[in-house]
């Protein structure tokens, strides 16, 4: 029985679970799981464990990640991304330089409040399920570390950048907090996971293209 990981380039519009279930059925795999949820809005690198490879979950979930993100200022939503209801519209009264300088303030260690719509669990149930029922469960802020933010581009009302960060960092929360700091609201409109640890999107394959020969054998995986 083959065991290891697949590097998947998940498309926008499907859940992480839908992506891996499609692979499981197409390749007739006994056991499969993913290491780090990507929302349906998001795309990019999704690492999947196959058979005994599913036991590596904790090692992969602890790895740092990097993303390309695009934020829209002036509008805040219930989910902190473009899939939610608009709850605030406000004029943007800051210039490009102020926006760039404010983005840079997120670099370093901080405490971040997770979004209400997230896969974090409360009493064994994901927060997003509570939120869909109109019950907003607030989790304690979590320690995160943003190592670097680069390639910042401002094209009002949109702001895009690449960010490298520790596990547990929600880019939707950064979009929300950036909008709050600029006093105009903001939400995430695009997210692409570029890397997770040493594994990169450039080496990943689409769900419909991955084959068993693309499996990285469990014996070849090393974590330093």
Q: Domain ranges in the chain?
A: 4-62+198-220, 65-196
Percent of the chain with pLDDT over 90: 73
pLDDT of residue 16: 95
- Quick one: pLDDT band at residue 116, thresholds 50, 70, 90? low
Q: E strands within the chain?
A: 4-10, 32-34, 43-50, 65-73, 75-77, 86-89, 108-112, 121-122, 125-126, 142-155, 158-165, 186-196, 199-200, 216-217
The candidate with the shortest Cα–Cα distance to 66, out of 175, 206, 167, 186, is 167
Q: Confirm whether 208 is a catalytic residue.
A: no
Lowest mean pLDDT among 78-87, 119-128, 139-148: 119-128
Q: Does the pLDDT value for residue 131 go beyond 60? A: no
Q: Does the pLDDT value for residue 114 go beyond 80? A: no
Please indicate whether residue 137 or residue 218 has the higher confidence score (pLDDT): 218
Q: Does the pLDDT value for residue 52 go beyond 60? A: yes
Report the pLDDT averaged over residues 67-78. Answer: 96
Task: Please report where in the chains the tokens 């670099």 appear, as a residue.
Answer: 107
Question: How far apart are alpha carbons 82 and 176 in whole angstroms?
Answer: 12
Q: Does the pLDDT value for residue 194 go beyond 70? A: yes
Q: Which CATH number fits domain 4-62+198-220: 1.10.10.10, 1.20.1740.10, 3.30.2350.10, 3.90.120.10?
A: 3.30.2350.10
Q: Which of 11, 28, 39, 85 is catalytic?
A: 39
Full-model pTM: 0.90
Average pLDDT score, the chain: 90
Report the pLDDT averaged over residues 171-181. Answer: 95
Fold classification of 65-196 (topology level): Pseudouridine synthase (3.30.2350)
Q: E strands within 113-208?
A: 121-122, 125-126, 142-155, 158-165, 186-196, 199-200
- Quick one: pLDDT band at residue 128, thresholds 50, 70, 90? low
pLDDT of residue 18: 96
pLDDT of residue 61: 86
Q: Does the pLDDT value for residue 123 go beyond 80? A: no
pLDDT in tens, 30-39: 999 999 989 8
pLDDT of residue 221: 79
pLDDT of residue 8: 98
Report the pLDDT averaged over residues 207-213. Answer: 95
pLDDT of residue 220: 77
Please indicate whether residue 126 or residue 49 has the higher confidence score (pLDDT): 49
pLDDT of residue 141: 81
Q: Do domains 4-62+198-220 and 65-196 have the same CATH topology?
A: yes
């Amino acid at each position: 029985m083959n065991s290891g990981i697949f590097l998947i380039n998940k498309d926008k519009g499907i859940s992480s679970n839908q992506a891996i279930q499609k692979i499981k059925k197409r390749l007739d795999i006994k056991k499969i799981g993913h290491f780090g949820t990507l929302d349906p809005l998001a795309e990019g690198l999704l690492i999947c464990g196959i058979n005994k490879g599913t036991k590596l979950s904790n090692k992969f979930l602890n790895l740092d990640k990097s993303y390309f993100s695009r934020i829209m200022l002036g509008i805040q939503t219930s989910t902190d991304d473009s899939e939610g209801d608009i709850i605030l519209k406000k004029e943007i009264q800051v210039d490009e330089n102020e926006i760039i300088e404010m983005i840079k303030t997120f670099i370093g260690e901080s405490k971040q409040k997770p979004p209400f719509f997230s896969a974090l669990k409360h009493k064994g149930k994901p927060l997003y399920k509570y939120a869909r029922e109109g019950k907003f469960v607030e989790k304690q802020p979590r320690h995160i570390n943003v190592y670097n933010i680069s390639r910042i581009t401002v094209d009002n009302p949109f702001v895009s950048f690449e960010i490298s960060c520790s596990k547990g960092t929600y880019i939707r929360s950064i979009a929300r907090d950036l909008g709050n700091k600029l006093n105009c609201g903001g939400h995430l409109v695009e997210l692409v996971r570029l890397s997770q640890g040493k594994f990169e999107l450039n080496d990943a394959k689409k769900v419909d293209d991955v084959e068993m020969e693309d499996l990285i054998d469990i014996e070849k995986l090393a974590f330093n």
